[in-house]
Structure 1
C-alpha cells in the first residue's frame, strides 16, 4: 500500500504500472465521509489529460490488495469504502 500526496507524476505512474490495482480517493487529511474506491483503470481517476490528482484537497491510497485498503479506511478514519459508480463491480 502506498499513500500519494502532492505527486501527480508518481500517482499516474503507479496506476499505469498497476492496472489491476485499487485506489481510495479521499480528502487531505483523510475523512470518513469521503472514501471512494476506484479501480486503477477508472477513467474518473486515471486520465493523464487532467491534473491535480494528489494536490490541494485530495490524496490517493493505492494498493493491489482490496482488503488492505478496507483495513486502512477502518483503522485510519473509522470509515467504510464507497464504490465508484463507474467501476463499482468489485
Structure 2
C-alpha cells in the first residue's frame, strides 16, 4: 500500500486505521506547520493511547503511508514547499536516516516539480523570495550527499538565460518533452561542495555539452 492519507477532524477513521496498520508510518503535524517540527511515528503508544486524543483536530493533523518518501513529499506539497526537518519519535524510534535512503530515487523528481512551479510563478514574487533566502543550500543525506537546492534559483537562472547557453551562447539543443521549454542545466560557478552559495549570482544556465565541460574539461 502506497497511498498517503491525511486525517483531519476524523478521530474514528484515524484510530481504525491505526488498528489495522501497526507497521505504518504516521507524521504528526502541528499547525502552523512552519513553526513546529513534524514528528514521525510508527504505531506506538504515543499516538495510539486515547488519553492523548484528540489527534486530528485543533492544531494537529496526521499523514499516513507505508512509505516515508511519500509522506515527506506529501508534506512538502501540502505546505507549499515549507522545508523543516522531520524528527523521529523517541518512543518507537523510526530510523529516519535509513528511511531517507528511499527518497534518493525521487529526490530530483521532486526538485524538478518545484522548479516547474517556480518558473510558472510571477518573476517578482520569485525574486522577493530569493532576497530573503539563505545563501547556503541545506544538505540532505540519502544514498549520497545531495544539496537541497532552491528551485527559485534554478528558475531565475533559466529565466535569465531565455533558452541560450550562458557559456557558448548557443540555443538550447532541444526542448523538454514534458513542458516544451528549452533544455538547459544550471551550473554553480563555485561548486556547492566547495562552499559555493546557492544563489543566482553563483549560477549559470548551460547546455549539456558545456555543463560536462565545466565539470570534466
When the two structures are superposed, what TM-score results if normalisation uses the length of structure 2? 0.38
**2:86 matches 1:84:** no
**2:43 matches 1:35:** no
Q: Deviations over 1:14-70 (max 9, x none)?
A: 111111000010123433632100002x10011235421111110000111111112
The CA RMSD measured in Å over matched residues stands at: 1.8
Residue of structure 1 equivalent to 2:14: 11
Residue of structure 2 equivalent to 1:25: 28
Of 70, 73, 76, the residue aligned with 2:72 is 70
Residue of structure 2 equivalent to 1:57: 59
Secondary structure of residue in 2 paired with 1:60: strand
* In 1: Cα distance, 2:83 partner to 2:93 partner: 21
* In 1: Cα distance, 2:46 partner to 2:73 partner: 23
Rg larger in 1 or in 2? Answer: 2
Contact map agreement 1:5 1:59 (CA 8 A) in 2: yes
Count how many residue pairs are aligned between Structure 1 and Structure 2: 89
Residue of structure 2 equivalent to 1:45: 47
Higher helix share: 2
Secondary structure of residue in 1 paired with 2:38: strand
Instruction: Give unmatched runs, 5+ long, in structure 2.
Output: 96-217
Instruction: Give unmatched runs, 5+ long, in structure 1.
Output: none
* In 1: Cα distance, 2:32 partner to 2:10 partner: 15
Q: Which moved more, 1:46-55 or 1:11-20?
A: 46-55
Ranked by relative contact order (alpha carbons within 8 Å, sequence separation 6 or more), the top structure is 1
Change (3 A) 1:6 1:89: closer
Contact map agreement 1:32 1:80 (CA 8 A) in 2: no
Higher strand share: 1
